């Protein structure tokens, strides 16, 4: 729904000229600018690769649930790794939260931050994306001056919360586990053993958590050293000036794209399954996107109040970051642009996130904000839906705004505690020119698949099924992608916490496309009894021999299904993605003896 106003932005040519002028105001030649920009990108990628290859847990090593980058002393992003987008933008919030901590504790930050220090931080009300994502931040000093931060963040297997790995039904933030605010684990180069021991003694999987933290330190140190090398090569003034120029350049490029959207307020709304405790009470999400010239505001204030469980979203660190990334991914996709598109804080400046204090997207302490992935996924999906009438060639139909993020835990035959985090992929909706992608995560977290062999080798469970859904999709000129079916059987007693959504609604279709399919979660007992589960379960118990059945959503369709070529419908039938009845009902295609009945199809599609 859209209330359009008169277009007020300058022309694209004017903004292009402004971009050139933004660079000309700096005494840097274009070649040096792009070379240093490329080196900054490489630093972030090296940090990410270092962390992924040296981590202990599969959530980092295989799923790549992490992010890394270099930041200015005042917490602006200079570069980011191509991993989990919402992790990198959130590091701005982490650094701001550290500074806020110093201020509240009446600590002079210039005295608190020293060369050789390593900080950790994960407090959800002080800038963290949520508490399982622990940031490691190392100050970069050059000739005695604090000139940057090398930082990363990664999702940890366990932080000692009420249930293993993940948590939903929590009373407040104190039940989330161990919270850190600007805590030093190295003080001027000396390891602070008391903090490492505190962590080791308060998590279920100390080997993996300590190992992952050490990998984060190594990654951040690599970023620190490479940034120093960059300064040695080009000089501090040139590197800093280039960083400012690249941020200004990115800002202007995004403003150019925003200015091409007609001014107005665009609206979309839906409701999530519930908060994990109050069953059947759906939680409304209301998104208003206002375009004014080259600025865009996303307002979530009419969404549900904060919940009395952990199903809330930190505003600075999760809500704002996903808004930034969603707008940037729609308008500044590197695949569709020929020019160099540096990813930095400049792209955040034209975007203005809003959420009233006390709503689900901006909770107040001591409310818990542990479980937040489905809300931001769905919010991102609604931003895209709201903008669809204005930019139909840049959006897709409803996506996996309902992901099934799950933790399993228990003890193995040797009595050792194990925790496994698993992201079950959804799918994308149909898009201009092509079908939706099958079995992928929402772009905001972009986590990857873990090989079945690795799961079975590392944990007392067996993956019995893992394949695409074969029971339909959102029909359209371009069909929705297919979600997955996964069934896993436990060899030992286990406990599950499921942070899912989408059991009660379907991904939306666009421009005549139909809705996708909703998700499903079941407990299949060893004796064959089947129990339907909610999309959110806290500390749910399985006995040895029991099976968990997970079915994720399939995306919505884009465009009139009757405009889909009959041959493509036949291919979907041959691939087992739809049956003959769905081909006829959804697409008007009659399949007989494995072939298209051309005459009957033409009659059905024409309405004869």
Q: What is the pLDDT of residue 403?
A: 81
Strand, helix or coil at 591? strand
Query: How many other CB atoms are found less than 10 A from the CB of residue 530?
Result: 10
More confident residue, 36 or 403: 36
68 strand-pairing partners: 152
pLDDT on residue 607: 84
In this structure, of 1-15, 241-255, 487-501, the range with the lowest mean pLDDT score is 1-15
Q: What is the pLDDT of residue 58?
A: 92
Instruction: Classify strands 264-272 and 190-191 as parallel, antiparallel or unpaired.
Output: unpaired
Has residue 478 got a pLDDT over 50?
yes
Tell me how far apart the 2 most distant CA atoms of the chain are, in Å.
82
Question: Cα 174 to chain center, whole Å?
Answer: 24
Cα separation, 413 vs 532, whole angstroms: 29
Token pair 């799918």 is at which residue? 427
What is the 3-state secondary structure of 193-248?
HHHHHHHHHCCCCHHHHHHHHHHHHHHHHHHHHHHHHHHHHHCHHHHHHHHHHHHH
Q: Can you give the pLDDT at residue 4?
A: 36
**Lowest-pLDDT range of 40-54, 74-88, 306-320, 571-585:** 74-88
State the residue for tokens 């908060």.
275
φ, ψ of residue 481 in degrees (nearest 5)? -70, 165
pLDDT score at 449? 82
Phi, psi torsion values for 201, nearest 5 degrees: -85, -5
pLDDT single digits (tens) 118-154: 999 999 999 999 999 999 999 999 999 999 999 999 9
The pair of structure tokens assigned to 315 is 């505003």
Residue 12 has pLDDT above 60, yes or no: no
* pLDDT higher than 90, residue 377: yes
Question: What local confidence, expressed as pLDDT, does residue 17 receive?
Answer: 63
Backbone phi and psi for residue 80, each to the nearest 5 degrees, phi listed first: -145, 155
DSSP 427: -
Q: Please give the structure tokens belonging to residue 501.
A: 């959504």
- pLDDT tops 50 at residue 86: yes
User: Which neighbouring-strand residues pair with 419?
Assistant: 409
The answer to whether 72 and 78 have CB atoms below 8 angstroms apart is yes
Residue 14 has pLDDT above 70, yes or no: no
Q: Work out the percent of the chain whose per-residue pLDDT is above 90.
A: 86
Task: Provide the mean pLDDT of the chain.
Answer: 93
SS (H, E, C) 41-103: HHHHHHHHHHHHHHCCCHHHHCCCCEEEEEECCCCCEEEECCCCHHHHHHHHHHHHHHHHHHH
At residue 21, the pLDDT reads 67
3-class secondary-structure state, position 252:
helix
Three-state helix/strand/coil letters over 269-307:
EEEECCCCCCCCCCEEEEEEEEEECCEEEEECCCCCECC
What one-character-per-residue DSSP string does 134-163 give? EEEEEEEEETTEEEEEEEEEEE-S--S-SS
pLDDT-based confidence at 18, cuts 50/70/90? low
Is the pLDDT at 456 greater than 90? The verdict is yes
> Which of 119, 155, 161, 123 has the alpha carbon at shortest distance from 140?
119
Residue (of 443, 479, 480, 483) closest to 334 by Cα position:
443
Beta bridge partners of 498: 406, 537
Identify which of 3-7, 86-90, 521-525 has the greatest average pLDDT. 521-525
Q: Residue 366: is the preceding peptide bond cis (ω within 30°)?
A: yes
> Which region among 77-91, 130-144, 468-482, 499-513 has the lowest average model confidence (pLDDT)?
77-91
Q: Which residues have a Cβ under 8 Å from the Cβ of 575 and sit 6 or more positions away?
A: none
- What CA–CA distance (Å, rounded) separates 535 from 520? 7
Q: Which residues pair with 71 in a beta bridge?
A: 77, 149
- For residue 509, what are its two tokens? 């279709």
Q: Is the pLDDT of residue 547 over 50?
A: yes
At residue 346, φ and ψ (nearest 5 deg) are: -60, -30
> Beta-carbon neighbour count of residue 103 at 10 Å?
11
pLDDT band at 341 (very low <50, low <70, confident <90, very high): confident
Find out whether 479 and 572 touch, Cβ atoms under 8 Å.
yes
- Taking the C-alpha atoms of residue 98 and residue 108, their distance in angstroms, rounded to an integer, is 12
Query: Token digits for 197?
Result: 């021991």
Cα separation of the two ends of the chain: 34
Poorest-confidence range of 224-238, 391-405, 515-529?
A: 391-405
Q: Please state, in angstroms and rounded to a whole number, the distance separating the CA atoms of residues 110 and 556.
A: 52
Cα separation, 371 vs 380, in Å, equals 16
Q: Rounded mean pLDDT of 87-94?
A: 88
16 has a pLDDT exceeding 80: no
Whether the CA torsion 123, 127, 130, 132 is positive or negative: it is negative
Please say if the pLDDT value at position 300 is more than 90.
yes
pLDDT for 133: 97
What is the sign, positive or negative, of the torsion defined by CA atoms of 293, 71, 220, 375?
negative
| Mean pLDDT value across residues 346-355 | 96
pLDDT confidence of residue 87: 77
How far from chain centre, in Å, is Cα 412?
Answer: 31
| CA–CA distance, 354 with 290 (Å, rounded to integer) | 11
Q: How confident is the model at residue 353 (pLDDT cuts 50, 70, 90)?
A: very high
Percentage of the chain beyond pLDDT 70 is: 96
């Amino acid at each position: 729904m859209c209330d359009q106003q008169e277009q007020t932005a300058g022309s694209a040519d004017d903004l292009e000229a402004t971009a050139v002028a933004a660079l000309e105001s700096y005494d840097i030649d274009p070649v040096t600018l792009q070379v240093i920009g490329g080196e900054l990108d490489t630093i972030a990628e090296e940090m990410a690769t270092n962390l992924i290859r040296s981590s202990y847990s599969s959530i980092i090593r295989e799923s790549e649930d992490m992010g890394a980058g270099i930041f200015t002393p005042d917490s602006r992003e200079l570069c980011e790794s191509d991993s989990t987008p919402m992790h990198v933008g959130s590091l701005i919030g982490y650094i701001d939260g550290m500074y806020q901590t110093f201020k509240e504790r009446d600590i002079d930050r210039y005295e608190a931050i020293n060369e050789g220090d390593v900080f950790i931080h994960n407090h959800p009300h002080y800038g963290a994306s949520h508490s399982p994502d622990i940031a490691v931040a190392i100050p970069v000093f050059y000739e005695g001056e604090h000139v940057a931060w090398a930082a990363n963040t990664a999702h940890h297997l366990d932080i000692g919360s009420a249930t293993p790995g993940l948590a939903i039904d929590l009373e407040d933030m104190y039940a989330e586990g161990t919270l850190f605010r600007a805590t030093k684990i190295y003080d001027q180069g000396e390891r602070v053993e008391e903090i490492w021991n505190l962590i080791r003694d308060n998590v279920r999987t100390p080997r993996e958590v300590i190992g992952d933290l050490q990998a984060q330190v190594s990654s951040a140190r690599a970023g620190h050293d490479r940034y120093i090398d960059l300064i040695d090569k080009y000089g501090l003034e040139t590197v800093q000036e280039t960083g400012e120029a690249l941020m200004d350049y990115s800002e202007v490029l995004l403003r150019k794209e925003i200015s091409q959207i007609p001014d107005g307020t665009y609206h979309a709304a839906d409701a999530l399954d519930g908060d994990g405790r109050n069953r059947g009470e759906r939680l409304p999400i209301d998104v208003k996107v206002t375009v004014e010239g080259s600025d865009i505001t996303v307002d979530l204030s009419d969404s549900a109040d904060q919940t009395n469980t952990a199903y809330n979203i930190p505003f600075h660190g999760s809500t704002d970051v996903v808004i930034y990334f969603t707008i940037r991914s729609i308008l500044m996709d590197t695949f569709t642009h020929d020019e160099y598109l540096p990813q930095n804080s400049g792209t955040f400046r034209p975007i203005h996130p809003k959420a009233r204090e006390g709503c689900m997207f901006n909770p107040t302490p001591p409310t818990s904000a542990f479980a937040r992935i489905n809300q931001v996924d769905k919010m991102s999906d609604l931003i895209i839906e709201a903008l669809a009438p204005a930019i139909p060639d840049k959006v897709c139909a409803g996506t996996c705004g309902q992901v099934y993020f799950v933790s399993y835990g228990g003890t193995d035959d040797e009595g050792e505690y194990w925790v496994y985090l698993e992201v079950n992929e959804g799918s994308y909706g149909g898009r201009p020119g092509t079908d939706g992608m099958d079995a992928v995560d929402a772009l905001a977290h972009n986590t990857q698949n873990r090989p079945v062999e690795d799961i079975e080798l590392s944990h007392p469970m067996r993956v019995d099924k893992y394949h695409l859904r074969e029971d339909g999709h959102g029909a359209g000129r371009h069909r929705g992608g297919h979600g997955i079916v996964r069934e896993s059987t436990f060899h030992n007693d286990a406990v599950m916490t499921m942070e899912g959504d989408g059991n009660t609604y379907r991904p939306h279709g666009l421009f005549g496309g139909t809705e996708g399919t909703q998700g499903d979660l079941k407990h299949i007992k060893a004796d064959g009894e089947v129990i339907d589960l909610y999309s959110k379960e806290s500390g749910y118990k399985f006995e040895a021999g029991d099976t968990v059945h997970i079915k994720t959503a399939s995306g919505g369709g884009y465009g009139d299904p009757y405009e889909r070529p009959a041959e493509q419908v036949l291919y979907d039938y041959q691939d087992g993605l739809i049956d003959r009845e769905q081909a006829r009902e959804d697409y008007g295609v009659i399949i007989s003896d494995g072939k298209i009945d051309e005459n009957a199809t033409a009659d059905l599609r024409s309405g004869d």
